[in-house]
Structure 1
Amino acid sequence: MEVFTYPTGTTLYKIGEVPSGVYYLLDGKIEVMLQRKTGTFEYGTFGEWSLFNLPSEEIVTTVSETTLYFIKPSEIGTLEIPKLLITMVSSIAKRLLIVDSELSCCSEIPEYLGPDKLRYFNRVHPNSFRITDGVFQDMFQIKRLYTSGYYKEAFEIAVKLLSGPFPEDLKKEIMVWYTLLNILLEPEKAEMHFSRLAQKDYAEHISYAYLYTFFKGGQKQEVLDMFMKAGLYLPKDTIVTLEGDAASEGYFLIKGYLKAVKLYEDREVLLSIVQPGEFVGESALLEAQPRMVTLYTMSPAAIIPMSSQNIEKAVERNPDFVLRICESQLKRISQVKSLIRLKNITNDEQRAIATLKYFEPLLTKVRLTCKDISSLVDVSIERVVDEAKRLGYKIAFDGTITV
């Protein structure tokens, strides 16, 4: 690790370059240009792209005489990594919020946020859930009790939930926990309890993978362990964040897909799709501020909610996991900038075609409609339908696009 002082106007790295290392700001000011918007920083890290050999999506320039630590990627493991990683997560989160606000074309929450939007969402997505609903709080309580060794108390909550009017996939998740706790309470009947769950019916549930490893034996997986202690299984159409709500947690998506939208009284406007391995909700890691977008599950999903305190603990126990969060944040900056470039294509036909091709890999995995594409890049639904058909895609009666 070395210390360098740069004069005003020094460009540390540009778009398309892989930085040679990580810069830790000690004194001075740094300006970051991501697209049209810029941000000025007096604290933080830059150049994290170098840790993952990723080309930069930003121009980083000093706007005063600036002193920085310079850390080579090979030196990361030899330093006091907790403080560095926490600073990296926070710094990338700030830059991601800048580019996110440009994508949504709205850095402030409209004043008319509130129940009207939820009424619209519930009308379009009947029988939907919110992550704050009682069933998920009960699942958190089961996990807290399980982690603390209070198996009987956790089992009693699982029994209560099994009688609830929940969709089949959520009941299966509860059933996995019911079985795990039964095995712990009655180890002499473990084989009987485990055999009640047919693998083909539960294979999609991450908790079943943990149960299988727990019962059959196998190599411990850190992410599985974290999910069983603090993660949640969410059915399709579960609201994870609602724009305007206070941000208290970010979310690491293990499985499934989330849809980021702006909700209005009569419509929802697609902003992006969050994919497995990505971390979202960065505003929770910064100063208290309202959510900028609504996130909901497009398919059954497994997530790990993480507050800034959780990340600090994770840094101590598993720094590699936090590095994965950093990598996912940087990749999301690249994805958001790709969406901005799509929106900036001036020709409607070319804009529709480019957007359809961009989302093609997801068309077999999640439900995307002509209305989604239309709202994202501001072209008519008729144009999207025409171009989708020319590309050989199929359009269902409800507007869903399939390959």
Structure 2
Amino acid sequence: MSGNIVSVDEESLKSDLRELVRKTVQETLNALLDEEADEMVGAERYERTAGREAYRSGHYRRKLVTTSGEVVLDVPKLRGATFQTAVIERYRRRETSVEEAIIEMYLAGVSTRRIEDVSEILWGAGVSAGTVSNLNEKAFESVEAWRTRPLSGGYPYLFVDGIYLKRSWGGSYENVAVMVAIGVNSEGRREIVGCAEGFTESKESWKEFLLWLRGRGLSGVRLVTGDKSLGLLGALEEVFPDAKYQRCTVHFYRNVFGKVPRQKRVKVAKMLKAIHAQESREASEAKAAEVADALEAMKLGAAAKVVREGCRETLAYTDFPMQHWTRIRTNNAIERLNREIRRRTRVVGTFPDGKSALMLATARLKYIVENEWGRRRYLDVSLLEGEEGKA
């Protein structure tokens, strides 16, 4: 059976449909502008009436980038009145949704050069690096408001860590710490409660950071999880003296692995994990002693010393509900955020100043939080009430 074969040029069809939509949008916007002008004048075009308040004086053209492509607007000019329109803001050159898409691409890690190429493809008009910077300046105002927002309610669990970024400092390039804090609020949800710059992870920097968090309303902290930083430990004793400190078990393992030959690390990893797989602090301490003895028998005395001296700091989580243990004994949640910051800031390389580094890191965190990260329940905090009753 023979029949006619219909061939469709899909790309040409898409192009024609896109052009049709663009022209429809352009015609609709121009019709709205003319209608607004008629209302302001008080008469239709060429109509002679005693009640008219102004006269038309031609048009001027301006371009507007929309999600349907670039359109040309014929904006009415009036004599005897100033034409003001609700259709498009004065001096605006891009639709709001287009600007939001550009900002979102930047925060997602797309380089400014790539944004220019993508905008040319999507909307028929490219944007310069300066335009992207200007849009982000506006966005960073809301980012700063989010970063310094007041904190309310208790945060029983706090996770803290720092990440180093390169920035210009006094004519040279230095590594500067961006300190990040995640809190688990009274509803059991994770919340990024702090992001601030510090020259190093010194006691003074951590103290200033924690005081800033407390000044914004951070309270009810019962356990702080972080890496073994002497500066952090000293600052915690002064700012949150009632909070217990939990050394991240993953960081502890890495410190032990630094004293172990590569070919023996798999076996040692299983031994270390057995310490934190016990049902109580007492059992974990007994297991740690066994592991240290076994390491010495393997002629790994340096690793055994790290286990004996540092294991106790990794067992603070055992004073809290068992259902929380696997999530409060490591800094894995904040490590994932640090990787996202690193991925985003790698596009920039070296920052010209501290503000740009901090704002971009904070903007990335805000972007992550607004995409389901902070909406899921992380822990059942009500279990802590039972622990208080036992105490």
Q: Tell me whether the two structures share a fold, i.e. TM-score over 0.5.
A: no
TM-score of the pair, normalised by structure 2: 0.26
- Higher CA-based Rg: 2
Answer 1 or 2: which has greater helix percent.
2
TM-score of the pair, normalised by structure 1: 0.25
